[in-house]
Structure 1
Amino acid sequence: MKYIICYDIKEDRIRSRIVKYLEDRAFRIQFSVFSCKCNNKEIKNIWQELLRITEDAKNPLLLIIPVCKACDSDILMHGKPLEEDRNVIIV
């Protein structure tokens, strides 16, 4: 399934760790928005790691949205993502 992952973190150090983690697992659409294709187990692992990374953040916001195939085809986007979509293998 496809997922949209968003975050809003004020602390530079923590935000940098999130970016580094997500860049290895997803492609970047905007500065704080990523997309990835993975199964239930993989997205739960990503969620747990994001929670761990942000445990010391003040007022962190993490959001993971599942996107079904039907909804994916209805997504409207204007402009070019920061990265081109690529097949990402999560190990």
Structure 2
Amino acid sequence: MRYIVSYDIANERRRRRLVKFLEDYMCRIQYSVFTGDFDESILENLKRWISYVIEPDEDSVLIVPLCVSDWQKRLSFGVGRESAMEYEKEFQIL
């Protein structure tokens, strides 16, 4: 399943910790937005890591599942669109 993850983390240290984890499994498509394909076990790891890292009263993380057809209908404008397009080349959709 493909996911989009966006975050708004108040603290620099917590933000770096979350970004490091996201970069291991996902592709950054904007400053605070990542996308990636992974299975349920990685999703569970991600949810546990988010719960461990963030401060719920100060931070927010949004995880959105996407089907392949919705991802293929995406539109990208302006700076950063190349990153989103490169992602399509790096991973094959089955």
Q: What TM-score bracket applies, with the shorter chain setting the length? A: 0.7 to 0.9
Q: CA deviation at 1:84?
A: 3.4
Aligned to 1:50: 50
Report the TM-score, using the length of structure 1 for normalisation.
Answer: 0.82
RMSD: 1.9
Aligned to 2:70: 71
Q: CA deviation at 1:80?
A: 2.3
Partner letter of residue 63 of structure 2? I
Task: Indicate if the aligned counterparts of 1:27 and 1:36 stay in contact, CA closer than 8 A.
Answer: yes
Q: Between the two proteins, what is the percent identity of the paired residues? A: 31
For 1:77 and 1:34, the matched residues in 2 are separated by 14
Q: CA deviation at 1:34?
A: 0.5
Aligned to 1:80: 82
> Any unmatched runs of 5+ in structure 2?
none
Higher helix proportion (structure 1 or 2): 2
Tell which has more relative contact order, 1 or 2 (C-alpha 8 A, sep 6+).
Answer: 1
Report the TM-score, using the length of structure 2 for normalisation.
Answer: 0.80
